[in-house]
C-alpha cells in the first residue's frame, strides 16, 4: 500500500471515529434501544448518513439473530451425490449456478465434504484427460448448530476461512446451509451477483421441478399474467404484499404459505420484507 493510500485510509478511519464520537459525546446509552435512538438522532443531525445508520442497525440486528433465522433450508439446498464421474455432477452445478456444494454420501444427512465448482475445471479438458477421484477434491465441511448466533458465526467464518457452513439439527441431521454472504447481507443489505435476477427481470423459471423464482416486488398484473391467477391489485401492488398478508407477519426464509393453489416458499428475506419467493403449484410441492 502506498503512503498516499495509507494516509487516506487513516484519514477515513479518523473521520468515522470522529463522527461516532460526536454522536455519543456526553451520552452513554443504557441499553440497545437507547443506542438505536442515539444513532437515529445522529442521522437526523446529519452526523451519520443513511447508509452508515443502516449498517449500524444491521450490526445490532445480527447480534440478536441465530443461524435458524436466515439459513437456507435443506429442501432448497443444491446437493451433489458422491460420484466418480465428473459428468454426473455437471448438470446440478450448471443449473444452480452456485460455486460451492455440499457432497453427500449414503444419505442427504451424510455430508462428506464441500466441493468448489472451479476445482472441476482441470477434468473438463478432453485433450488432457485425468483420473477423477471426487474425495481428493473435497474440502472439510464446517458443521454448526441452528442456535449459533450470527455474530459468532461471522467470526468463525473469518477464522476458519470458510464461506459456507452445514447447519445441523438437534439430532445431527442436515437442517440447511448458511453462507458468509447470508450473514453480511443482514448488515449491508442485499448483495447482487451474476446469478441474481436482472434488474428488469421479475420472474425466472427453474424448469423441470415446476418451481419458479419470483421477485417479491413483481407487479400484480405481471404475476397474474404469468401464473394465470386472479390476485387483486386493489389492496397490494406486488406479489410480496399479497404473500406477507397471507402470512400475517413478515416471514423468514424457509417459511411457506399456500394461496390460490400455489405454494410460496420464502427464498430470501430480511427483518423488514421479503425479497425472493419460490412459487410451486401446490400439488407439485413436497
pLDDT (0 to 100) of residue 114: 95
Does 276 lie in the same domain as 220? Answer: yes
* Res. 210 pLDDT band, cuts 50 70 90: low
- The Cα 139–Cα 57 span in angstroms is 34
Mean pLDDT of 23-44: 71
What phi and psi, each to the nearest 5 degrees, are found at residue 136?
-70, -20
Candidates 36, 159, 55, 164; CA nearest to 102 is 164
Task: Using the structure block, give the residue that is written with the C-alpha cell 423464482.
Answer: 213
Does 81 lie in the same domain as 34? Answer: no
Residue 196 lies in a domain: no
* Res. 130 pLDDT band, cuts 50 70 90: confident
Per-residue burial over 75-104, b = 16 or more CB atoms within 10 Å of its CB, e = otherwise: ebbeebeeeeebeebeeebeebeeebbbbb
- The Cα 108–Cα 174 span in angstroms is 7
Residue 62 lies in a domain: no
pLDDT (0 to 100) of residue 43: 74
CB atoms within 10 A of CB 25: 8
Residue 54 lies in a domain: no
Residue 134 lies in a domain: yes
CA dihedral 180, 112, 101, 267 (to 10 degrees): -70
Does 112 lie in the same domain as 31? Answer: no
Mean pLDDT of 268-282: 80
Q: Is the pLDDT of residue 21 over 60?
A: no
| CB neighbour list of residue 246: distance below 8 Å, 6 or more residues apart | 257, 259, 264
Q: Among the three residues 132, 155, 188, which one is the final residue of a domain in this structure?
A: 188
Does 126 lie in the same domain as 29? Answer: no
Sign of the torsion angle spanned by Cα atoms 105, 109, 110, 111: positive
Residue 57 lies in a domain: no
Exposed/middle/buried for residue 267 (C-beta within 10 Å: 0-12, 13-18, 19+) = buried
Does 180 lie in the same domain as 73? Answer: yes
Q: Is the pLDDT of residue 195 over 50?
A: no
- The Cα 236–Cα 252 span in angstroms is 20
pLDDT (0 to 100) of residue 6: 47
Does 73 lie in the same domain as 44? Answer: no
Mean pLDDT of 24-30: 63
The total number of structural domains that make up the chain:
3
Q: Which of 86-95, 239-248, 275-284 is modeled with the greatest confidence?
A: 239-248
* Res. 28 pLDDT band, cuts 50 70 90: low
Q: How many residues does the chain have?
A: 286
Residue 37 lies in a domain: yes
Q: Among the three residues 188, 223, 256, which one is the final residue of a domain in this structure?
A: 188
Which tens digit of pLDDT belongs to each residue from 197-209? 455 578 876 544 5
Sign of the torsion angle spanned by Cα atoms 265, 269, 273, 274: negative
Q: Is the pLDDT of residue 38 over 60?
A: yes
pLDDT (0 to 100) of residue 61: 73
pLDDT (0 to 100) of residue 251: 86
- The Cα 198–Cα 202 span in angstroms is 8
Residue 193 lies in a domain: no
Asked whether the beta carbons of 219 and 212 are under 8 A apart, the reply is no
Mean pLDDT of 147-164: 91
Q: Over the chain, what is the mean pLDDT?
A: 80
pLDDT (0 to 100) of residue 191: 59
Q: Is the pLDDT of residue 52 over 80?
A: no
Does 144 lie in the same domain as 237? Answer: no
pLDDT (0 to 100) of residue 9: 44
Give the CATH number of the domain where residue 259 resides: 3.30.465.10
* Res. 166 pLDDT band, cuts 50 70 90: very high
Residue 276 lies in a domain: yes
Which tens digit of pLDDT belongs to each residue from 83-102? 888 888 988 887 777 889 99
Q: How many helices (H) and strands (E) does the chain have?
A: 9, 12
Structural domain that includes position 85: 68-188
78 against 27, higher pLDDT: 78
pLDDT (0 to 100) of residue 94: 79
Give the CATH number of the domain where residue 157 resides: 3.10.580.10
Task: Using the structure block, give the residue that is written with the C-alpha cell 423488514.
Answer: 272
Does 176 lie in the same domain as 92? Answer: yes
Record the cell numbers describing residue 82, joined without a space.
458422491
| 147 CA to centre of own chain | 17
Does 124 lie in the same domain as 222? Answer: no
Candidates 196, 245, 198, 199; CA nearest to 220 is 245
Mean pLDDT of 42-53: 75
Does 168 lie in the same domain as 141? Answer: yes
Q: For 46-55, 91-100, 113-122, 228-237, which range has the lowest pLDDT when averaged over its residues?
A: 46-55
Does 89 lie in the same domain as 35? Answer: no
Does 233 lie in the same domain as 166? Answer: no
Sign of the torsion angle spanned by Cα atoms 19, 21, 23, 29: positive
Amino acid at each position: 500500500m502506498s503512503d498516499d493510500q495509507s494516509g487516506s485510509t487513516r484519514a477515513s478511519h479518523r473521520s468515522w471515529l470522529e463522527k461516532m464520537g460526536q454522536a455519543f459525546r456526553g451520552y452513554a446509552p443504557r441499553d440497545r434501544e437507547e443506542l438505536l435512538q442515539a444513532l437515529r438522532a445522529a442521522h437526523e443531525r446529519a452526523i451519520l448518513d443513511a447508509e452508515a445508520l443502516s449498517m449500524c442497525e444491521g450490526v445490532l440486528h445480527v447480534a440478536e439473530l441465530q443461524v435458524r433465522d436466515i439459513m437456507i433450508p435443506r429442501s432448497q439446498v443444491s446437493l451433489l451425490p458422491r460420484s466418480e464421474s465428473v459428468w454426473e455432477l455437471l448438470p446440478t452445478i450448471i443449473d444452480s449456478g452456485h460455486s460451492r456444494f455440499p457432497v453427500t454420501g449414503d444419505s442427504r444427512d451424510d455430508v462428506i465434504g464441500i466441493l468448489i465448482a472451479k476445482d472441476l475445471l482441470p477434468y473438463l479438458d478432453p485433450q488432457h484427460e485425468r483420473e477423477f477421484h471426487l474425495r481428493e477434491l473435497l474440502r472439510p465441511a464446517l458443521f454448526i448448530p441452528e442456535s449459533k448466533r450470527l455474530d459468532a458465526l461471522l467470526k468463525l467464518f473469518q477464522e476458519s476461512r470458510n464461506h459456507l457452513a452445514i447447519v445441523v439439527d438437534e439430532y445431527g441431521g442436515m437442517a440447511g446451509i448458511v453462507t458468509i454472504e447470508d450473514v453480511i447481507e443482514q448488515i449491508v443489505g442485499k448483495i447482487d451477483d451474476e446469478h441474481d435476477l436482472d434488474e428488469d427481470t421479475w420472474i425466472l423459471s427453474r424448469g423441470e421441478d415446476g418451481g419458479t423464482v419470483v421477485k417479491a416486488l413483481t407487479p400484480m398484473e405481471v404475476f397474474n399474467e404469468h401464473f394465470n391467477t386472479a390476485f387483486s391489485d386493489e389492496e397490494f401492488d406486488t406479489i410480496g404484499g399479497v404473500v406477507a398478508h397471507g402470512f400475517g407477519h413478515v416471514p423468514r426464509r424457509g417459511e411457506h404459505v399456500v394461496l390460490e393453489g400455489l405454494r410460496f416458499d420464502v427464498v430470501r428475506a430480511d427483518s423488514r420484507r421479503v425479497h425472493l419467493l419460490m412459487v410451486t403449484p401446490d400439488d407439485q410441492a413436497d
